[in-house]
Amino acid sequence: GQQLNQSPQSMFIQEGEDVSMNCTSSSIFNTWLWYKQDPGEGPVLLIALYKAGELTSNGRLTAQFGITRKDSFLNISASIPSDVGIYFCAGRSNFGNEKLTFGTGTRLTIIP
């Protein structure tokens, strides 16, 4: 099956720092999604990307659909305490199985 490698697995940053994380796929995707999961809650959709090269922002969050269609990036600027949580990428390919494949998550912790 398809595999999504998400990195880093965890990040420890100070409030105000910028954050970058990425996902890479073993195959071409035509959709990339980024979700955030707060402790004890279900994932919530942050950004959806549908076109190679697309750059989309949602407040302090910016995500990009890689031009190779095998990767995607999420950046968070000027982190604040409520950014703490687990960030998941998810993707869907054009071929055969069209269900979403999820990455393993990046756990973001803000050090006081």
Q: Which residues bind other proteins (CB under 8 A)?
A: 1, 4, 6, 9, 31, 33, 40-45, 48, 88, 90, 92, 98-100, 102-105
Minimum gap (Å) between residue 16 Cβ and other proteins:
29
Q: Token pair 């965890």 is at which residue?
A: 10
Cβ nearer to other proteins, comparing 70 with 102: 102
Half-sphere exposure in the Cβ direction for 111 (13 Å, CA): 6
Shorter beta-carbon distance to other proteins: residue 43 or 85:
43
- 3-class DSSP state of 23: strand
The residue among 89 and 110 lying less far from other proteins, judged by its C-beta, is 89
Tokens of 40: 């004890």
Decide whether 81 or 99 has the Cβ nearer to other proteins.
99
Find where tokens 């979700």 sit: 35
Shortest separation between residue 1's beta carbon and other proteins, angstroms: 7
Structural contact between residues 32 and 89, judged by C-beta atoms closer than 8 angstroms: yes
d(CA 54, CA 87): 19
CB of 48 to other proteins, least distance (A): 6
